Every structure is written in C-alpha cells, then in structure tokens.
Amino acid sequence: MIPGPHLRQQLRCADVTVPVLFSTAMWTRLKTGQVVDLAWLKQQEIMCCACPEAKKDKTNTLCLFTTRACHSNNNKKVVMIAHLERELRRHMEIKAIYKATLDRMQEYQRYWLHTAKENGLSDLISKFQQISPRTSADSFPKTSPMQLPATTWNPNLAAIADQAKQHGWYIEPNEIELRELVGRGSTADIYRGMWRGLDVAVKCINSGFFQSNRNCQTWFAQELETLSHQRHPFVLRLMGACFDLPDKGWVVTEFLSRRTLKEWLHGQSERQRQRLIPLPPLEERIDKGLEIAQAMQYLHDQKLKMFFSPGTYVYMAPEVIRCEPYSEKVDVYSFSIILNELITGQFPYIEYDYGPTKIALKVGETRLRPALPEKCSQLEELTDLILQSWDENPQNRPSFATITCSLRNIREKIVESVGG
C-alpha cells in the first residue's frame, strides 16, 4: 500500500526516504490521509526493517520508509564488511604464496643435499641428517651479535680495505658531511652528502646488519669490489667507502640529481591508470630502454659474481618467485617489464586490481604478464622483443647484447619514418 502524493511529499521534506516500520495505528493515520506531525514523526523510535526487533513483530508492521540516518549506518556497515572481506582475501593470497614458496624451498633443499652427497660431501650431509622437511628456521644455529667484535674484519673485508687505501678511495667518516635523507631501505639509508666539495650519495648501512654475522662483511666487501671496477656512463660510479664498522659502513657514490625513471615517465604520482603528465615521445622512451640495456650488457659481459636481492614482485621473474635456481636471465625478464612500461606509459599490471603479492602469485603460477602496447605496425618489433624477453623459459630469452642491437635498429627505423 502506497501513501498518497501529498503524504509522500511531506515524507520527502522530512528526510524520510527508505523503508521503516509503522505501527498499525500509525499506518491507519497515514492511509486515511490524516496530516502527520512531521517533527513528531522524526522523533519517534522508528525501527529499521534490518533490526532484530523488526523480525519478531509480524502483526502490526508495514514496511514503507526508513530515515536517511539509518540508511547511512547500514551503508557504513556494508563498506566495513567489504573492506574486511578484501583484507581476508589478501591475507589468504599471502598465505598461499608463502606456502608455495616454502614447499619449493624444501624441494630444492632436498635436491641440493642429494647433489652434494653424490659429489662426496658426506660431512656436509651428516650435519643435516636430522633436519626434516618441516624443520623451522628456529632449529638452525644462529650467530649471536656478541660473537663478532665490532672492530674485527674478515679477510675479504680487510683485503678490499687495503685496496681502497692503495687506490685512494678509502674515506674517513669525518670527511663526509651528511645532509638530507633521500631514500630508505630495509638494510640502509641513502643520504645526499658533501665530500671534498662534491655532492655525493652516501649509502649508510645499518649497524645491526653487520652485527648479525660475518657473512654480512663478505657481502659488503663483494659490493665494493664489484663497484670499484665499473667504468661505464650508465653505471653508478663509486667514489669511495668508509670502513668504520659496524656504525659507519658507508658506500659513497656519485650523486645523480636528475629525476628517476619513474618520475620521468609518470611524474610524482603513485600507481594509477590516468596519466598526470604528457607521455614523452616514443624515440626518447626507446633511448631510455637502450641506455638500460647497454648498462646491463656491460655488467653481464664482465661475468661478475653478484650477491643481490632479485627485486620487487612487480618486476620479479617467475623462477625467482617460485624459489627455483636462476641465472642472469632474470635481469632480462625484469628489463622486459620496464621496456613494456616505457612503451605503454602504464604502470605494470595497472589493468588488474591486484596487490604486489597477488601479482607475484599470478606470475609464478598462471604466467600473468602486463598488457602489451596497442597493435601498431610501428611497435610490432618492440612487442616481439618484449614477448621474447619475458618468455617463461629463461633459455628462450635473448641476451642483452641481442637486446641492445635490436633496440638500436628499431630506433633507427623510427627516426627514419619520422624524418621521412
């Protein structure tokens, strides 16, 4: 039963818009056209049809309208429930990723132990005979920070420190003036600093990192050894290092005041579909990709023994996500994601409503890849190069020498087509 036009108009004016429960007496007044005291009506304890009390009383209730306030509260509850459901799904996805990762790590642990045994490393095997596939990390021996004196250098670090002194890149901490913080990571903070009149970038490694165990000193020495031999226009140049461990283990490099690749391509915005700045010309975007490829070719040609974190989920190769053995071809995969980002002008996987962990799960398990550039004869060769570079089989991915050559040829064709 619907009240007449005059009453509906009064109810709209009274901010009454969606279903409420009226008693039989009230409904009698409404349907007989009696004028309702709207102020009184708004002050009454009107039950929403979603309330438990409403379900108990089925004899004298007719559902017509409810107040905006009640409707607003229900909307808030719906939004809250939706948010909790999304959080639950996200945590379930993370759990699934960690479980799959743990299972693969256990498989590869058994594989490498078997390989070591076949090669006569019985002493190593005997130490792990009691380790079951479900052994937790807490059962492994840990190195206490107290076991490593702050002033003790292992042979690797001592050797690289002597090399730094001989070649003039040993820096005392008091020579550097730290200025503003420009970056922060899990193991180090990056500052802009001043050293002998030059702007430099100072990577200040956390003291707790060195106090954990002696292997961290080996990593520090290896990074300095690698950087000290780099001479390439697109590879960051090492200026020196501080060896006052554990508090002042610093890596000092040239300071690049220009924008990052992300800032150049996307501006200051975070991940979103809509661009806030104009897309740079295609020729310039290919130039950026070519510079990255040239730097990576230089590093790969040196066949360096690198110790590094394989990257973030969005750019991470599927074999790394699955905790499988990997080669330098993981860099080719990561480059393909960056090259595709340069050509499309879109953040990787922005077309999906996924977080980083779900992206990793989809990449590792279902071969998910970002959306390719729109079909265009001018971009056909670039698209083919991207597809080859993120091939699921690492052996099918081209080398950086091949990528560099391909990008040069593609760039020349685009320049000629524009000039013609």
Rounded CA separation 44/209 (Å): 66
Residue in the block written with tokens 């089925």: 58
Q: What pLDDT is stored for residue 72 in this prediction?
A: 59
Q: Is 203 annotated as a binding residue?
A: yes
pLDDT for residue 109: 67
Instruction: Report the C-alpha gap between 86 and 372 in whole angstroms.
Output: 28
pLDDT of residue 258: 74
Q: What is the set of domains in the chain, with CATH numbers?
A: 1-100 (no CATH), 152-254 (3.30.200.20), 264-419 (1.10.510.10)
Nearest to 160 by CA among 245, 231, 236, 232: 245
101, HSE (Cβ side, Cα atoms, 13 Å): 13
Instruction: Return the pLDDT at 65.
Output: 42
Contact by Cβ (8 Å): 220, 164: no
C-alpha 122/C-alpha 116 separation (Å) is: 8
pLDDT at 234: 87
Low pLDDT (below 50) residues in the chain: 1-22, 27, 31, 35-36, 38, 40-69, 122, 124-125, 127-151, 307-310
Look-up of token digits 């064709």: 413
Q: Which long-range contacts (CB under 8 A, 24 or more apart) does 102-107 make?
A: 104/322, 104/323, 104/324, 105/323, 106/133, 106/134
Query: Phi and psi (nearest 5°) for 200?
Result: -135, 160
Quick check: pTM over 0.75?
no
- The Cβ of residue 329 has, within 10 Å, a number of other Cβ atoms equal to 21
User: Rounded to an integer, what distance in angstroms lies between the CA atom of residue 90 and that of residue 284?
Assistant: 38
369 Cβ contact partners less than 8 Å away, ≥ 6 residues apart: 363, 390
What's the Cα-to-Cα distance from 342 to each of 234, 279, 287, 338, rounded to whole Å?
A: 18, 9, 10, 6
The whole-angstrom separation of Cα 340 and Cα 265 is 12
Residue positions counted in the chain? 420
